[in-house]
Chain A
Amino acid sequence: MLLGKVSGSNRRSKIRRSWPVLVLVVLVGQIFLAACGDNTATPVPAATTAGAATAAGATTAAGASGGQVIVGLITKTETNPFFVKMREGAQKEADAKGVKLLTAAGKFDGDNASQVTAIENMITAGAKGILLVPSDTKAIVPTVQKARAAGVLVITLDTPLDPQDAADALFATDNLKAGVLIGQYAKAAFGTKAAKIAMMDLNPGITVGDLRHNGFLQGFGIKEGDASIVCAQYTAGDQAKGQTAMETCLQKDPGINLVYTINEPAALGAYTALKAAGKDKDVTIVSVDGGCTGVQGVVDGKIAATSQQYPLKMAVQGVDAVVDYAKNGKKVSGYTDTGVTLIAGKAVTGIDSKDVQFGKDNCWG
């Protein structure tokens, strides 16, 4: 009994020692197989830069495909309704056109590294084109260049790269115009009444946020630093942060009567703060986005007007453009405006707007 036990543990320790060798054999075998697999594919161009690894992958992949066209969609995050809608639209269009859609997203807004990884993986997967909503408009540029060098059509959706022509094309809302529309609406609604403005901005250094911000000022007819702007806060487009920001602004100046918000979550957050302070009836909130929750905010009178944009259109047109490239080799270029519409609870004379019913019929999320 005792003897058996000893020999048993001996055997076990022998197995323990030989395992690593076995594992190594398997691993080496894998690498060997992998190398063989690669040899059968089309020749790989010379690799000298960091991009070459990915570029090589793409060439190999493209050579080996020939079946279904693959379209990639990379959004900023997985969970924002705007991007969910975009993904749904892209999926529907991909199904309709009989192409395969791969999707990926960053872990948080601003997560460049995950988007770099996603682009690399999609090139390897043999994607013909990638639709990208860049998290960091500058940081992603070198990776986009690698994808394009590998023959992949890269279209940015919603947000331009810095510089814009680093991608093949841009399908997006004119964010400056979106801001101008709500600025003009606010101006018309206020008339000669003096405005005390709070700006609920996005985050520093993000193009979309700057464009909407500047558009609003332009539409309202004032310049940055105007005395009527009594408060400006960053909200990251987040409802809870929008609420905190508005609370802070009310502390600074309780007389605020006009609130610009980067998007409707920030607007609804600001509304909550205003309501808690008993000021919701005296303050006008204007916003951008046109999501279904946002339009409902207009219906409920929480938000006066919002500029509606169309993520579905961006996605559908993006998929179509990649399919066109795959079938006919035709590359889209430049900027395609996917449209923006002013949705107002109460129409104001002299300002072209649509009613909430139109907003509901065309909303996303």
Chain B
Amino acid sequence: MREMFAGSLNVSTLGPLLALIIASIFFATQSPRFLTGTNLSLVVQQVMVVGTLAIGQTIVILTAGIDLSNGAVMAFGTIVMTRFAVDFGFPPIVAIVAGLAVCALFGVLNGTLVTSLQLPPFIVTLGTLNIAFAMTHIFSGEKTVSNLPDILIFFGNTFKIGETAITYGTVLMVLLFLVTWFILRQTAVGRHVYALGNNAEAARLTGINTRRLLVIVYSVAGLVYGIAGMLLVARTEVGDPQAGQTDNLDSITAVVLGGTSLFGGRGSVIGTLVGALIVGIFRNGLQLMGVLAIYQVLITGVLVILAVAVDQLARRRQK
């Protein structure tokens, strides 16, 4: 058990975690409302969508790839879910499955293009970003879908621990993080992902079917974006074609702040959760202090550069 913790919470995760704690202590001194169960629950609720997207982003980045399409793919999934349920009258469960399926299919498309055409993931996902974006707007007719059935917004419902209301969606997100962490750390597939990210050629020579693995990674990531879409729908209670426009960058920010290397092979999905929470904590804390929103953007930018700088320093010291 102890070994497992040591494995997941290595140096690259510790830095972000410290940053998160220091920031929390600072905001607690600035606003009496910050350190309440209700507010902290709210922060987790607010990072739930980007956090879930970032799970998919993490596994892609671990293979030394990147996925620019995730926000747009998620948005397409939400529009499919909501229109299927509201406009076409499918049972909500079928609508959700359809939404998850189209997202997973986009993942298959990304993975296949990356492996079969040997194109850089940056280019492939830049292309699918535009395709998913356009399909969202075409399919939605530029309209927001409202009056969703209860099942579609189930994950926005809450239960209580003490006085604090917690949404089911945040529980699902945390579970997804734990499952992903377990698979990455404790299974052969997980090891292969790291190996592939460290050195694709070496991984191939050791007998890993790297092409198939990449397609699997992108497909699973796509499915995870679909789940993020489900959470987005539950959170805002509408299907919104404009949603997710900058979430791709936010998900990369969470991964980078969490100490995962953009060069692949190094990092942890738990770090990503911490990274997402850092962004959420800053936004919430600065808001409670009454700081202008544009400074949140400024601070996020500084944090990203700091995080990458720390990663590079750690890497150089290792060598």
Contact = CB atoms under 8 A, between A and B. Distances in A.
B180 interface: no
B38 A56 contact: yes
Interface string B216-236: 000000000000000010111
Contacts of A122: 287
A26 B21 CA distance: 8
A152 to B, nearest CB: 15
Contacts of B297: 107
Nearest to A34: B37
Contact of A47 (B160, B245, B246, B247): B160
Contacts of B164: 34-35, 38
Given A108-B245, A138-B144, A57 B238 contact: no
B268 to A, nearest CB: 12
Contacts of B21: 23, 26-27
Given A60-B36, A124-B288, A112 B236 contact: yes
B40 A142 contact: no
Contacts of A56: 38, 163, 165
B245 A110 contact: yes
B284 interface: yes
Contact of B33 (A21, A31, A39, A126): A126
A28 interface: no
B293 A103 contact: yes
Interface string B1-36: 010011001110010011001001000000111011
B163 A38 contact: yes
Interface string A26-63: 11001101110111010010011110111011001100
Nearest to A20: B9
Contact of B290 (A19, A49, A102, A110): A102
B237 A50 contact: yes
A138 B238 contact: yes
B298 to A, nearest CB: 11
Given A20-B5, A57-B38, A101 B290 contact: yes
Contacts of B142: 204-205
Contacts of A120: 42, 45-46
A16 interface: yes
Contacts of A138: 144, 146, 238
A125 B283 contact: no
A31 B39 CA distance: 11
B44 to A, nearest CB: 10
A27 B240 CA distance: 35
Interface residues of A, number: 62
A283 to B, nearest CB: 30
A19 B9 contact: yes
A121 B163 contact: no
B162 interface: yes
A47 B31 CA distance: 25
A78 interface: yes
A168 interface: no
Given A37-B36, A136-B144, A204-B142, A78 B162 contact: no
Contacts of A48: 157-158
A141 B42 contact: no
Given A23-B21, A139-B144, A53 B33 contact: no
A257 interface: no
Nearest to B245: A108
Nearest to B39: A124
Contacts of A21: 5
15 contacts: A19-B14, A20-B5, A30-B24, A30-B40, A37-B37, A50-B156, A53-B45, A56-B165, A57-B38, A100-B290, A103-B292, A113-B232, A139-B238, A141-B146, A142-B237
Given A37-B32, A102-B287, 18 more contacts: A23-B9, A27-B21, A38-B36, A47-B159, A47-B165, A50-B237, A53-B45, A56-B38, A104-B287, A104-B293, A111-B242, A113-B243, A113-B244, A117-B46, A120-B45, A124-B288, A138-B238, A205-B142
Interface of A: 16-17, 19-21, 23, 26-27, 30-31, 33-35, 37-39, 41, 44, 47-50, 52-54, 56-57, 60-61, 64, 78-79, 100-105, 107-108, 110-113, 116-118, 120-122, 124-126, 135-136, 138-139, 141-143, 204-205
